[in-house]
Structure 1
Amino acid sequence: ATAQELEAMRETAKAEKRPWRYAGRWRDRDPSEAPAGVPFVVRIKAPQDGETIVDDAVQGRVVFQNKDLDDFILLRSDGAPTYMLAVVVDDHDMGVTQIIRGDDHLTNAARQTHIYEAMGWTLPNFAHIPLIHGPDGAKLSKRHGALGVDAYRAMGYLPAALRNYLVRLGWSQGDEEFFTTQEMIESFDLAQVHRSPARFDFAKLENMNGHYLRDSNDDELFDLLIATLPYLEDGAAIAEQLDDRKRAQLRAALPGLKARAKTLKELLDGAGFLFAHRPLSLDAKAAQLLSAEARGRLATLVDRLAALPNWTAAATEAVVRDLATALGVKLGDLAQPLRAALTGRATSPGIFDVLEILGRDESLARISDQASIG
């Protein structure tokens, strides 16, 4: 059919307010009638009557009326195969027996069935799973989270957590939420995939990732964090500072850091105090904690801590508690300004663990920096 003939078919379909389909103008004509030297496409001679049935592992028995399916193109005018032909031949040649794909390809399954039948090939098993939508119900886009795996790595998500979250989108196994990879392999069944679209929710992904962080083996998590540093924001700069001492400090701080983080990015952010240089810059909340009265208490505390023979979390805690009692203040009235002085923030891992991890010299120096201001 010429471009003019095809355009006429489109205009007729538009005027009749129906979907455009190739009208089969050359379907039953003799090839000898074709004009010489005119480029042509090759279409499939699809059945025009009856039904094409797709027995789908997710969607069930889906019936298509053949009158609604056209003689679609197999080879373009330049001889190149279309997707519809290429994918069928490719799957057949590779021995594919199971096709799992989005339900936006469900109509393609009917058309591809015609190719399989025309070639005399065995049909594969089809499973068309629902698409993933954003929280607003719209088709998933980049603003929702339709990103490459590298983007999720840069955001600090653990591979195991992301796998777990994705496998639970549109699939259920009772009330179970968390699965190891092996459990996913053993439990997954297409019969339990939902037909309605799943919704991608970053809040749920973060909560799941936080669960995996907290439950991770510390040594394995540390190795993963180090391997991920080049991909995290500011990770490359941190990696440059990781001498043996800093690595040991980061590893020691890991249990406290992972308890407060939902992603590796948050975990690394929480570890910022380990790599901060004196004098520390204070965030707004930390600055509020360091009133003139609080700085005076820190000046008293630094002298008592300096007298400690052994620098351990337990020993420093005892000194801080004793001073709080002696001053007649709550522990937090002393511990929170201490946290601000040591980390520059109002939140951190356990403050006595921070003292032990930073060590005597660095801890005393940071406290003295803030105690001397006023």
Structure 2
Amino acid sequence: MTVRTRFAPSPTGYLHVGGARTALFSWAFARHFGGTFVLRIEDTDLERSTPEAVQAILDGMNWLGLHHDEGPYYQMKRMERYSEVLADMLAKGTAYHCYSSPEEVEAMRERQRAAGEKPRYDGTWRPEAGKALPAIPADRKPVIRFKNPLDGEVSWLDVVKGQITIGNRELDDLVIARPDGTPTYNFCVAVDDWDMQITHVIRGDDHVNNTPRQINILNALGATLPHYGHLPMILGPDGQKLSKRDGAASVMDYPLQGYLPETMLNYLARLGWSHGDDEIFSMEQMCSWFDLSHLSASAAQFNPEKLAWINNHYIKAADNVRLAGLIKQQMLDDGAQFDNAPALEAVIALLKERTNTTVELGQAAMLFYRQPAADPALMTQHVTEAILPALRQYAELCKTVEWNKAALSAAMKQTLADFSLKMPQLAMPLRLLLTGQLQTPSIDAVIELFGREVVTQRLSVIAG
């Protein structure tokens, strides 16, 4: 058997983290077995589906690198095929026309609720041997209903949740085509999975109630059933339903917030799947490990702190040229001046170990690409008359010292010894004069990156 999985989002909104995790697991399973990953856009909800949402899904998949092998298939372009299957089902008696109006259907459900019964379609128009059907109302277009089995059970071994069994009497004859002939969700999904020869359906557990309906339709079509696995939902840090604030945002918000795609993939992989105690791994490793036996049946919890920790790992490992490309526009928007300034790649190498996002990295790098503007109160506190002689000596040494970190550090130590000072007494005023702030990486590394011309110019303000 060739493994064929699919990701089938409805384009009624952005690609969120739950959908991205579903896509990742389906993609990784196909890759593990050398199978095929299909992308299908389920766009039959014409009122809510939009081209913008389709593009947002495609953009999110592309950013994550979850490239499909087939598709994208669009359900709205398969109407002819659905009509063909509907006609065949009507001919074979596995579907039938129903002329009950929406008001009549609601009235029958109200009667059932009043009697303490589960509301369902009562089969008024369901053809049975020896049953007389009502007269067809004039000028009323029918829906098409699936003739669901009346007895027995629908049972499947869910690869995540285990054995699930639902009695057919819990299911009614669902509408599979509207009065205008457009097919409905469960019917389209069943036909698509059949035609596309999907072997494994991995999706969120909000679809569990759809599965018995789709299984019954597939059985009626004589199709081979796929294996089903329903992933538990992702909860927020507070254990409640994930909110936009906590992570239920568009996947494409994450690059704007400074996260790398490899971070998101690594983090999403651990939301409901594990490989021993491994926390950091490549997608090649994940695909080599991934099967369905280690999927958790418990809800996963979104942890922003862990996401930031993983992002820090990947930022530290990332190529500096790549990171420069990610942050340069942000810095230009913030007013960065790159003329006569250190190479951005060198600045990134100094700063990236201490930043959790590329946004933080860009903000930290600005100290090398803007004029210092120290708080006057801090200048009064740290650049005192007592420290000026030491600052002036170090400024003079910077005019002639060999320009590397070791030599600059040695000159600083010489100045500290000559004036019986401790490092903070000299480093703090130097930071203020050079960068306008008190917190920077190692001051000798900062001085080296600025270069002799900038350092001597900025220290010239304290010349005697």
2:187 is aligned to 85
2:357 is aligned to 263
Query: Which stretch shifts more, 10-19 or 254-263?
Result: 10-19
1:253 is aligned to 347
1:169 is aligned to 271
Q: 1:313 aligns with which of 399, 405, 409?
A: 405
Unaligned stretches of 5+ in structure 2?
1-99
Q: 1:358 aligns with which of 431, 437, 450?
A: 450
CA change 1:111–1:332 in 2 (3 A) is: same
Quote how far apart the aligned CAs of 1:6 are. 1.5
CA change 1:229–1:291 in 2 (3 A) is: closer
Matches within 5 A, 1:1-374: 1-16=100-115, 19-28=118-127, 33-216=135-318, 220-227=319-326, 229-230=328-329, 234-237=330-333, 241-242=337-338, 246=341, 249-277=343-371, 280-282=372-374, 290-293=382-385, 296=388, 299-369=391-461, 371=462
Question: In structure 2, the residue corresponding to 1:53 is in which secondary structure?
Answer: strand
Answer yes or no: is the 8 Å Cα contact 2:331–2:366 preserved in 1.
Answer: no
- CA–CA distance in 2 between the matches of 1:143 and 1:309? 52
- CA–CA distance in 1 between the matches of 2:378 and 2:273? 45
Answer yes or no: is the 8 Å Cα contact 1:51–1:63 preserved in 2.
Answer: yes
- CA–CA distance in 2 between the matches of 1:124 and 1:239? 56
- CA–CA distance in 1 between the matches of 2:178 and 2:376? 65
CA change 1:292–1:240 in 2 (3 A) is: closer
Quote how far apart the aligned CAs of 1:201 are. 1.0
- CA–CA distance in 2 between the matches of 1:284 and 1:145? 41
- CA–CA distance in 1 between the matches of 2:407 and 2:423? 15
- CA–CA distance in 2 between the matches of 1:323 and 1:13? 92
CA change 1:307–1:367 in 2 (3 A) is: closer
- CA–CA distance in 2 between the matches of 1:284 and 1:61? 71
Query: Which stretch shifts more, 194-203 or 314-323?
Result: 314-323
CA change 1:358–1:213 in 2 (3 A) is: same
Quote how far apart the aligned CAs of 1:73 are. 0.9
Quote how far apart the aligned CAs of 1:293 are. 4.8
Deviations 1:221-274 (A, max 9, x none): 4224314544xxx3453698556x64x521112222011111111111110112
Identity of paired residues, percent?
38
TM-score (norm 1): 0.88
- CA–CA distance in 2 between the matches of 1:112 and 1:289? 74
Answer yes or no: is the 8 Å Cα contact 1:156–1:264 preserved in 2.
Answer: yes
Q: How many residues align?
A: 362
- CA–CA distance in 1 between the matches of 2:309 and 2:380? 30
AA at the equivalent of 1:5: E
- CA–CA distance in 2 between the matches of 1:131 and 1:262? 26
Unaligned stretches of 5+ in structure 1?
none
Answer yes or no: is the 8 Å Cα contact 1:285–1:345 preserved in 2.
Answer: no
- CA–CA distance in 2 between the matches of 1:118 and 1:325? 90
Quote how far apart the aligned CAs of 1:11 are. 2.0
CA change 1:272–1:152 in 2 (3 A) is: same
Answer yes or no: is the 8 Å Cα contact 2:408–2:444 preserved in 1.
Answer: yes
Question: In structure 2, the residue corresponding to 1:141 is in which secondary structure?
Answer: coil
- CA–CA distance in 2 between the matches of 1:210 and 1:42? 55
